[in-house]
A and B are shown apart, each in its own frame.
Chain A
Amino acid sequence: MSTPGAVRVYLRDWAWFRQVVTAVGLASIVQPLMFLLGVGLGIGELVDSGGNTDLLDGEPYFAFYSSALLATTAMFVLGGEALWPTLDGFQWSKANYSMIATPLTPTDVMLGKALHFLVRGLVAVSGTGLVLLMFDDTRTWGVIPGVLAGVLCGMAFAMPLAALTATRDEDNLFPAIMRFGITPMFLFGGAFYPIAQLPTWLQPIAWITPLWHGIELARGSVLGGLEPLMALVHIGVLSAFVLGGLLWANRTFARRLLL
């Protein structure tokens, strides 16, 4: 029986990822745990002792913040994965060129990468999900859809960024993407406080970032209270980023590989 081309491509990434998956899995638990213990509990104590959590819809700050980590983790991990490790296949190891010398096509290569992002994202976000289950405030079945929401959010970053990476010969743009794209979203995307706290002119900017939709979806899943219509909007926006990224990457991968 024939194995789909994308899976055959992915097997190479897996051969590598398999060697480090235990370490990566452990790190995926330890890192959010540190964030939660530091920011969640520390700032949470400060916020909650003010006695007024109306702005957080009555949720304790810890639950408010920790549920957003499902989306921010995915953004950081898959955003990074779509940059340097993706450029490697074009520029350093040139593995992508080896692949297209076989019956595989640039589309297979691109979809194989997408598969890798999916697995990588699941490992990372599941780690965060496990940490949420350790605490009373966030121990709910909603963590499961929350993890899926996080992975969807991560893919919404990974696919467009991978498409961009396929057009680059060097990694000189990547630090700027992290510094001026990813980090500001982390700060202004509603992870630490509701975006209603932002100046009014800044709020629409948050609405068009995939991170805000990812956070709202993940948070709503974990804490409940997600309106079905809004859930559809969030899923729709994130899916549009994923789909747009897939189509764009399909073009840039082919253009790069078939000279």
Chain B
Amino acid sequence: MSSVQSPVVARSLVKRFGDFTAVDGIDIEIAPGEAFGFLGPNGAGKTSTMRMIGCISPVTEGELSIFGLDPAADGREIRSRMGVVPQLDQLDNELTVMENLIIYARYFDLSRKQAAAKADELLEFAQLLEKVDAKVDSLSGGQKRRVSIARSLVNDPELLLLDEPTTGLDPQARHVLWDRLYQLKERGATQVITTHFMDEAEQLCDRLVVMDGGRIVAEGSPRGLINEHVRREVLEVRFGRDRNEEMLPQLAGVGGRIEALPDRLLVYTDDGEAALTELHRREVVPESSLVRRSSLEDVFLKLTGRTLVE
């Protein structure tokens, strides 16, 4: 890769818990300033990988290097240059937003004065200035998430780890958060993001790996993965739960590959409308139909035979 040092390099990285292999020999190299995603269902090994990168989980086998340093020997130094947004907010609910930020900044050994100045700056960035003295308990889910993100930035991290950053948030709160993360990216911070949301991965990630059962099953840019693995559009048709399977033969040749889900059939094609017209010409009339662009969800379905969010 480039001569600039990769913030994260993993070679044949393995994490085992007893007999269970959570991460099964993955290779990653993340470029500076890149927004890199781990996409996969629950239990795919995303969080275990993140914890190893975060230097709070010993590597079982393989190599891992963060900023060119060894997590086992230099964990303290690595963590001082990294920001972490955990999957569930770990805020001090009974303390104010300001206190939360100052206490966290103190963990990084900022002086009280530095911490207070930094907190002011971050609260503005997180659009929480009017909540400075509010107890965290009183905030909405989206606001708490923004406090978590603000908190993770107290040390001006070169690398930001975001574990499921918008899980549990309503659509509006998600968009506010995405906007903030996009701004951070523009400032040049490398981001590592885990998610099981397709749209989030497409919005936030320059490049991503799809994980399943502890392994990487595909790697590329969101668009690149879609182009590589599925055709441009999807025609979704529903014939009712019992009839989807039996209608399969009648759909042959309408488009490309067909994926049969319990509740609908997905026809992959370069032109969804044309496929639908062809269906109508054959006098095959589904209960409902929908033409949409292919997404990472379709890539995942093709690669693993399963949907991401059950």
Q: Which residues of A are at the interface with B, using a C-beta cutoff of 8 A?
A: 2-3, 8-9, 11-12, 15-16, 19, 93-95, 97-105, 257-259
Say whether B94 contacts A16, CB under 8 Å: yes
Minimal beta-carbon separation of A88 from chain B (angstroms): 10
Complex Cα spacing A9 to B88, Å: 20
Residues of B within 8 A of A12 (CB): 92, 103
Give 1 or 0 for each of B6-40: 1 = CB within 8 Å of chain A CB.
00000000000100000000000000000000000
B268 at the interface (CB under 8 A from A): no
Say whether A102 contacts B90, CB under 8 Å: no
Residues of A within 8 A of B104 (CB): 98, 102
Say whether B109 contacts A95, CB under 8 Å: no
Say whether A257 contacts B56, CB under 8 Å: yes
Say whether A11 contacts B106, CB under 8 Å: yes
Complex Cα spacing A258 to B104, Å: 19
Give 1 or 0 for each of B72-106: 1 = CB within 8 Å of chain A CB.
00011101101010101010111100010001101
Give 1 or 0 for each of B93-131: 1 = CB within 8 Å of chain A CB.
111000100011011110000000000000000000000
Say whether A97 contacts B90, CB under 8 Å: yes
Say whether B106 contacts A101, CB under 8 Å: no
Contact of A259 with B57 at beta-carbon distance under 8 Å, contacts A95-B92, A101-B86 already known = yes
Complex Cα spacing A34 to B76, Å: 49
If over half of A's interface residues share one DSSP class (helix, strand or loop), that class is named, otherwise mixed; here it is helix
Which 4 pairs, one residue from A and one from B, show the smallest C-beta to C-beta distance?
Answer: A102-B107, A101-B84, A98-B90, A103-B80
Complex Cα spacing A98 to B92, Å: 10
Residues of B within 8 A of A101 (CB): 54, 56, 79, 82, 84, 86
Of the listed residues A19, A95, A98, A257, the one surrounded by the most CB atoms of chain B closer than 10 A to its CB is: A98
Of the listed residues B51, B76, B90, the one surrounded by the most CB atoms of chain A closer than 10 A to its CB is: B90
Residues of A within 8 A of B95 (CB): 15-16
Minimal beta-carbon separation of B87 from chain A (angstroms): 10
**What is the size, in residues, of chain B's interface with A at 8 Å between Cβ atoms?**
28
Residues of B within 8 A of A104 (CB): 107
Residues of B within 8 A of A11 (CB): 103, 106
Residues of B within 8 A of A8 (CB): 106-107, 109
B262 at the interface (CB under 8 A from A): no
Say whether B56 contacts A2, CB under 8 Å: no
B253 at the interface (CB under 8 A from A): no
Contact of A94 with B88 at beta-carbon distance under 8 Å, contacts A101-B79, A102-B108, A103-B109 already known = yes
Residues of A within 8 A of B82 (CB): 101
Complex Cα spacing A167 to B248, Å: 55
Starting from the known contacts A95-B90, A258-B56, 19 additional A-B residue pairs (CB-CB under 8 Å) come to: A3-B106, A8-B107, A8-B109, A11-B103, A15-B95, A15-B99, A15-B103, A16-B92, A16-B94, A93-B92, A97-B56, A98-B86, A98-B90, A101-B54, A101-B84, A102-B79, A104-B107, A259-B17, A259-B57
Say whether B107 contacts A99, CB under 8 Å: yes
Residues of A within 8 A of B94 (CB): 16, 19
Of the listed residues B58, B75, B106, the one surrounded by the most CB atoms of chain A closer than 10 A to its CB is: B106
Complex Cα spacing A8 to B108, Å: 9
Complex Cα spacing A80 to B58, Å: 32
Complex Cα spacing A257 to B90, Å: 14
Give 1 or 0 for each of B187-203: 1 = CB within 8 Å of chain A CB.
00000000000000000
Say whether B86 contacts A103, CB under 8 Å: no
Contact of A258 with B86 at beta-carbon distance under 8 Å, contacts A8-B107, A12-B103 already known = no
Cβ-closest chain B residue relative to A9: B107
Residues of B within 8 A of A100 (CB): 56
Subset of 17 A-B contacts with CB under 8 Å: A8-B109, A15-B99, A15-B103, A93-B92, A94-B86, A94-B90, A98-B104, A98-B107, A100-B56, A101-B56, A102-B79, A102-B80, A102-B107, A103-B77, A105-B76, A258-B58, A259-B17
Complex Cα spacing A11 to B100, Å: 11
Complex Cα spacing A34 to B106, Å: 41
Minimal beta-carbon separation of A9 from chain B (angstroms): 8
Cβ-closest chain B residue relative to A104: B107
Minimal beta-carbon separation of B110 from chain A (angstroms): 10
Task: Give the contacting residue for A258; candidates B17, B57, B80; CB below 8 A.
Answer: B57
Residues of A within 8 A of B155 (CB): 102
Residues of A within 8 A of B103 (CB): 11-12, 15
Residues of B within 8 A of A15 (CB): 92, 95, 99, 103
Residues of B within 8 A of A99 (CB): 107
Task: Give the contacting residue for B109; candidates A2, A105, A257; CB below 8 A.
Answer: A2
Complex Cα spacing A12 to B82, Å: 21
Of the listed residues A9, A101, A257, the one surrounded by the most CB atoms of chain B closer than 10 A to its CB is: A101
Say whether B93 contacts A93, CB under 8 Å: yes
Task: Give the contacting residue for A93; candidates B58, B76, B84, B90; CB below 8 A.
Answer: B90
Say whether B90 contacts A103, CB under 8 Å: no
Say whether B93 contacts A259, CB under 8 Å: no
Minimal beta-carbon separation of A170 from chain B (angstroms): 18
Complex Cα spacing A105 to B109, Å: 13
